[in-house]
Chain A
Amino acid sequence: MTVPPPRAESSLPTVPPDPRLDGSWERSTRSLNSSALLALLGIGVLYFNGQSVLAIIAVFAGGLAPSEASGGYFETLLKSIRDLADPLRLAVVLSQYLLMLLPALFLVRRWHSSDVRWYVRIARTPMSEVLLALLATLLIIPSSNFIADELVRQLGIPDELMQIGAELFTARGPMELIWLVFVVCLTPALCEEIFFRGFVQRTFERTMGWRSVVLVGVVFGLFHFNPLGLISLSILGLLFGYFYYRSRSLLPSMVAHFANNFLAVVVLYGNGENSGSSAAEIPLWLVGSTLPLGVGALVWYSHLTARRIT
């Protein structure tokens, strides 16, 4: 498959436009970067404000039972978060589907193409590429998480606070684990990948080429509003963006995103009551041994997908 060159913003396209690009934005003289930026910020405003409203509604609908935990301040706070976990998780799921995925699909259809699947690149890709993307992600995760852990350590965030933060992602039994896999792993892998990669990166890519991977990767990190996790989340964003850019398919980045979140949920499940504490720290030897292998997997991935980029 030959990839058309990026569309120059200030000049006429050098190749005839694809007839599938039949949306209103495509028919106008507006900039493609404006479309991506407006979608990014507009859906961002909708998603975060809407999620807050949904969280408040979910908490009130779930009942605000006063916490009766015995013990100190942290124990009471932890108990309150545990009580509110399910309504908050429901709010996250609803906001991901209703305030991120649906608006993104609507805007793609209205602005860019009635063939949404083609535009966002829901396309088959060789299994070897998917497995290699999965392997590269699993090998890079220790390094990216190590950076976040180091920042947490440097700042001296108490273990108890980290435990409170991790509570929403910690399952207490097999059924809760299945529900969490749906909430934390499947839903973001679908909604965030279609939004960030399928819409935003795809649209920026048409004018910026490979630079869109860097831009959207960093924006993906910023969008989580987690300053200490910014570097690690941006690394993951770059990784998912790279898989999408090289494979011309959403599948590898979706699988990689799912794997990253799944690993986090399983580790927290395994740690149980110690979730978020320093017991989950990543040893340096693991980073040292997995990082070169991860980079090697990425080079291999680049080699495997080279024919699609030429």
Chain B
Amino acid sequence: MTPAAPMTLGDVFDRWFKLIGASWLRNLILAAILLGPAALVFAVSLDLGFGQILIMDEYDPRNLATVWNFLGWISLGSVIFLIGTVAATVAITITGCAEMSGRPMSWQEALRTTFSLRLARVFGMYLLEFVGFGFLIGIPYALLIGGIAAESFPLGFAGGILIIVSIVAVIYLVINFAFTVPAIAWEQAAVIDGFKRSWTLVGGNWWRVFGILVLMSLVVSFAVSLVMTPLYIVVLWDFFQAYFELFSSLGGGEPDPQIARNMLSSFGFGFGLVNAIASIIQIIVTPLYTVVLYFDLRARRGEFNQSSPLPA
């Protein structure tokens, strides 16, 4: 399946759909193993979090502890979910790369391969990106806020201009570093080498990569919303029932606070569950378009004419 020649846009989509078709079951198993427990913790933490908020009646200093409890549960769920997402991304990238190289890999093998140094490196990569991009966006915001606080027009103006510049810079860098995950997960590159490798691959093809990635992410989010819209109603049935009850009570003057409580109490777990399902669907297709483009860029650099793909 390794592409010997660069792909056209139609070929990229065709390869992507074929890759999804060939590996969806393995990827679904991987996503369920790596993301399932994390998603469950996230859903339970949302449920507990909303449960904490519901016992608050009126303003009371002790309610601050309840709010902290709520935030604590949500943060715990989010962190575990984030870790699961990164692990699933690495595992599915490995499966996709193996498939594209013409050496299909079982989900067990992909799972074993994931839990190695490369997973730690991908975590490091995301951490570096988070810190780097955070600074890039954060500093102009700090300037703007500082300018407003100090009532200094030049400082605020410079901050405003820099925000626009930094957003453009972040987009530029995100595209250039889009293939760091496959470089680390498949080629076993170190973090900095992974960044360099991705930068080299994108070189000369920035606009093409940007266009295709935007197009593919639009297509994925549309497909996910297509599937998830009815699921939201099914899973959050009680929530919507209470919502419409609340809506009806608006006509009769003051809404009943008990209905609002019912609405909130039926929200947490269902919302967490639906989000988890949406994330699992998204994660079994999203890393695969990066994989297809990664192989296309390698073919454009003539890498498959010289030697076989690097081993996993």
Interface set of A (CB-CB < 8 Å, partner B): 24-25, 28, 30-31, 33-34, 37-38, 41-42, 44-45, 48-49, 72-74, 111, 155-158, 160-161, 219, 222-223, 225, 227-228, 230
A227 and B244 form a contact (CB under 8 A) = no
Docked complex Cα distance between A156 and B246 (Å): 10
Mask of B18-30 contacts with A, CB within 8 angstroms, 1/0: 1001000000000
A158 and B247 form a contact (CB under 8 A) = yes
Docked complex Cα distance between A45 and B225 (Å): 11
Complex interface: chain A residues within 8 A of B251 (CB) = 72-74, 158, 160
Given contacts A38-B17, A72-B251, A222-B229, whether A44 and B244 have CB atoms under 8 Å apart is: no
Cβ 8 A contact of B247, one of A31, A48, A161:
A161
Docked complex Cα distance between A222 and B240 (Å): 19
Mask of B243-255 contacts with A, CB within 8 angstroms, 1/0: 0110110110000
B218 and A45 form a contact (CB under 8 A) = yes
Given contacts A222-B226, A222-B227, whether A227 and B18 have CB atoms under 8 Å apart is: no
Docked complex Cα distance between A121 and B257 (Å): 58
Complex interface: chain A residues within 8 A of B240 (CB) = 155
Docked complex Cα distance between A184 and B309 (Å): 55
Interface set of B (CB-CB < 8 Å, partner A): 10-11, 13-14, 17-18, 21, 215, 218-219, 222-223, 225-227, 229-230, 232-234, 237, 240-241, 244-245, 247-248, 250-251
Docked complex Cα distance between A34 and B250 (Å): 48
A28 and B10 form a contact (CB under 8 A) = yes
Given contacts A25-B10, A72-B251, whether A33 and B244 have CB atoms under 8 Å apart is: no
Given contacts A31-B17, A42-B219, A72-B251, whether A155 and B229 have CB atoms under 8 Å apart is: no
Docked complex Cα distance between A30 and B13 (Å): 9
Given contacts A155-B244, A225-B229, whether A31 and B14 have CB atoms under 8 Å apart is: yes
Docked complex Cα distance between A74 and B250 (Å): 9
B241 and A48 form a contact (CB under 8 A) = no
Given contacts A72-B251, A156-B248, A228-B233, whether A34 and B219 have CB atoms under 8 Å apart is: no
Complex interface: chain B residues within 8 A of A230 (CB) = 230
B14 and A44 form a contact (CB under 8 A) = no
Complex interface: chain A residues within 8 A of B248 (CB) = 156, 158
Complex interface: chain A residues within 8 A of B10 (CB) = 24-25, 28, 30, 38, 111
Q: How far is the CB of A160 from chain B (nearest CB, A)?
A: 7
Docked complex Cα distance between A41 and B167 (Å): 28
Complex interface: chain A residues within 8 A of B237 (CB) = 155
22 A–B contacts, CB within 8 A, in A order: A28-B11, A30-B14, A31-B18, A34-B13, A34-B17, A37-B17, A38-B17, A38-B219, A49-B218, A155-B233, A155-B237, A155-B241, A155-B244, A156-B248, A157-B244, A161-B244, A161-B247, A219-B226, A222-B229, A225-B226, A227-B229, A230-B230
Complex interface: chain A residues within 8 A of B230 (CB) = 222, 227, 230
Closest 5 CB pairs of A and B: A227-B233, A30-B14, A227-B230, A34-B14, A34-B17
A227 and B232 form a contact (CB under 8 A) = yes
Q: How far is the CB of B85 from chain A (nearest CB, A)?
A: 23
Closest to A160 in B: B251
A44 and B250 form a contact (CB under 8 A) = no
Cβ 8 A contact of B226, one of A25, A44, A111:
A44
Complex interface: chain B residues within 8 A of A156 (CB) = 241, 244-245, 248
Docked complex Cα distance between A72 and B10 (Å): 54
Q: Which of the listed residues B14, B18, B240 has the most CB atoms from chain A within 10 Å of its own CB?
A: B14
